[in-house]
Amino acid sequence: MDAAAVSSFDGQALDHVLIFDTTLRDGEQCPGATLNTEEKLAIARQLARLGVDIIEAGFAYASPGDFEAVQKVAEQVGSADGPVICSLARALKPDIEAAAEALKPAAKPRIHTFISTSDIHLQYQLRKSRAEVLQIAEEMVAYAKSFVDDVEFSMMDATRSDPEYLYQVIEAAIRAGAKTINIPDTVGYVMPEEFGQLIKGIRENVPNIKQAVLSVHGHDDLGVSVANFLEAIKQGVRQVEVTINGIGERAGNTALEELVMALHVRRSYFNPYFGLPVDSEKPLTHIKTQEIYRTSRLVSNLTGMLVQPNKAIVGSNAFAHESGIHQDGMLKNRQTYEIMDAQTIGLQSSTLVMGKHSGRNAFRNRLQELGFHLSEQDLNKAFIRFKELADKKKEISDLDLEAIVNDETRPVPELYRLDHVQVVCGDKQAPTATVRLITPDGQELMDAAVGTGPVDAVYKAINRIVDIPNKLIEFSVQSVTAGIDAIGEVTIRLRHEERVFSGHAANTDIIVASAQAYMNALNKLYFALHAARSTPEQREAATQKI
Ligand X SMILES: CC(C)C(=O)C(=O)O
Identity of the residue, 125 or 308, whose beta carbon is nearer to ligand ACO in the bound complex: 125
Partner whose footprint covers residue 59, from ligand X, ligand ACO, none (CB < 5 to 8 Å by kind): ligand ACO
407 contacts which partner out of ligand ACO, ligand X, none, CB within 5 to 8 A by kind?
none
Helix (H) or strand (E) holding 461: helix 454-465
Distance CA 444, CA 447 (A): 10
Query: Residue 257 CB, nearest distance to ligand X (Å)?
Result: 19
Binding site per annotation, positions: 26, 217, 219, 253
Distance CA 336, CA 317 (A): 17
Which residue is at the shortest CB distance from ligand X? 184
- Interacting partner of 217 out of ligand ACO, ligand X, none (Cβ under 5 to 8 A depending on kind): ligand X
- From ligand X, ligand ACO, none, which one binds at residue 143 (CB under 5 to 8 Å depending on kind)? none
Under the rule (CB under 6 A), what is the footprint of ligand X? 26, 88, 114, 154, 156, 182, 184, 186, 217
Helix ranges (DSSP H) in 82-129: 93-102, 119-120
Residues in contact with 67: Cβ distance below 8 Å, sequence separation at least 6, in sequence order = 58, 60, 61, 98, 101, 102
Q: How far is the CB of 203 from ligand X (least distance, A)?
A: 20
Task: Tell the smallest beta-carbon distance from residue 183 to ligand ACO (Å).
Answer: 13
Residue 206: half-sphere exposure toward Cβ, Cα within 13 Å: 27
In the bound state with ligand X, the residue whose beta carbon lies nearer, of 214 and 374, is 214
Q: How big is the CA angle at 312 (ends 311 and 318), to the nearest 5 degrees?
A: 85
CB of 252 to ligand ACO, least distance (A): 12
317 binds, among ligand X, ligand ACO, none (CB under 5 to 8 A by kind): none
74 vs 216, beta carbon nearer ligand X: 216
Which CB, 156 or 435, lies closer to ligand X? 156
Nearer to ligand X, 117 or 289 (CB): 117
Q: Nearest approach, Cβ of 81 to ligand ACO (angstroms)?
A: 30
Nearer to ligand X, 114 or 363 (CB): 114
**Shortest gap between Cβ of 475 and ligand ACO (angstroms)?**
48
Which one, 154 or 296, has the nearer CB to ligand ACO? 154
Nearer of residues 10 and 221 to ligand X, judged by Cβ: 221
Residue closer to ligand ACO, measured from CB, 7 or 125: 125
Nearest distance from C-beta of residue 380 to ligand X, angstroms: 58
Binding partner of residue 91 among ligand ACO, ligand X, none, CB under 5 to 8 Å per kind? Answer: ligand ACO
Residue numbers in the known binding site for Mn(2+) are 26, 217, 219, 253
Minimum distance, C-beta of residue 26 to ligand ACO, in the bound complex (Å): 6
Q: Which residues contact 416 (CB under 8 A, 6 or more apart)?
A: 437, 438, 439, 440, 466, 519, 522, 523, 526, 546
How far is 139 from 146, CA to CA, in rounded Å?
11
CA–CA distance, 99 with 44 (Å, rounded to integer): 17
Distance (Å, rounded) from C-alpha 158 to C-alpha 138?
Answer: 16
| Angle subtended at Cα 438 by Cα 437 and Cα 439, rounded to the nearest 5 degrees | 115
The item of ligand ACO, ligand X, none sharing an interface with residue 154, based on CB under 5 to 8 Å by kind, is: ligand X
Q: Do residues 457 and 469 touch, judged by C-beta distance below 8 A?
A: no
CA dist., res. 275 & res. 15, Å (int): 7
The listed partner (ligand X, ligand ACO, none) that binds 326, CB under 5 to 8 Å by sort, is none
Closest Cα partner for 212 from 237, 230, 232? 237
**418 interface partner picked from ligand X, ligand ACO, none, CB below 5 to 8 A per type:** none
Minimum separation from the CB atom of position 187 to ligand X (A): 8
Q: What angle do CA 540, 545, 546 make, to 5 degrees?
A: 105
Q: Considering only the C-alpha atoms of the chain, give the largest distance between any 2 of them, rounded to a whole number of Å.
A: 103
Q: Are 24 and 69 in contact (CB under 8 A)?
A: yes
**Which DSSP helix (H) or strand (E) runs through 68?**
helix 64-77
Distance CA 356, CA 473 (A): 25
Residues in contact with ligand ACO by the rule CB under 6 A: 26, 29, 59, 61-63, 90-92, 114-115, 125-126, 156, 186, 249
